[in-house]
Amino acid sequence: VWGWAKPREKVTVSFSGQTKKATADASGNWMVKFDPMKADAKSNELKVNTITLKDVLVGDVWIGSGQSNMEAHWGVPRAIKNEMVRMFRIPKHIASETPQKDTEGTWISFGDGDSRKFSAVTLFFGVKLQAELGIPVGVIDTTWSGTKIDTWVPKEGKARKGRDGSIYNGMVAPLVPFGVKGVLWYQGEYNRYSAYPKYFHALEDLIGGWRKAFQLKNLPFYLVKIPPHKWQNRGTPQTLCDNIWQAQLRAAREIENCEIAPVHDSIKKLDLHPGNKRAVGLRLAELALSKAYGKDLPSSGPVFKAATFKGKEVEVSFDKIDKGLITRDGKDPSHFELSE
| CA–CA dist 176, 139 (Å, integer) | 15
For 65-69, 77-81, 95-99, 204-208, which range has the lowest pLDDT when averaged over its residues?
77-81
Angle between helices 120-133 and 277-291 (to 10 degrees): 40
| CA–CA dist 102, 7 (Å, integer) | 18
Q: Strand locations in 111-201, DSSP E?
A: 137-143, 182-186
| CA–CA dist 206, 249 (Å, integer) | 15
> In the predicted model, what is the mean pLDDT of residues 16-42?
97
> Which of 79, 70, 86 is CA-nearest to residue 120?
70
pLDDT digits (tens, 9 = 90+) for 170-189: 999 999 999 999 999 999 88
Helix ranges (H only) for the chain are 68-71, 120-133, 166-171, 196-214, 237-254, 277-291
pLDDT digits (tens, 9 = 90+) for 88-147: 999 999 887 899 999 998 898 987 767 777 899 999 999 999 999 999 999 999 999 999
Percent helix, strand, coil in the chain, to 5, is 25, 25, 45
- Cβ–Cβ < 8 Å for 201, 240: no
| CA–CA dist 48, 301 (Å, integer) | 47
Q: What is the pTM of this model?
A: 0.91
**Where exactly are the structural domains of the chain?**
2-56, 59-291
CATH topology of domain 59-291: Rossmann fold (3.40.50)
Residue 195 has pLDDT above 90, yes or no: no
| CA–CA dist 276, 270 (Å, integer) | 13
Residue 330 has pLDDT above 60, yes or no: yes
> In the predicted model, what is the mean pLDDT of residues 150-166?
82
| CA–CA dist 336, 334 (Å, integer) | 6
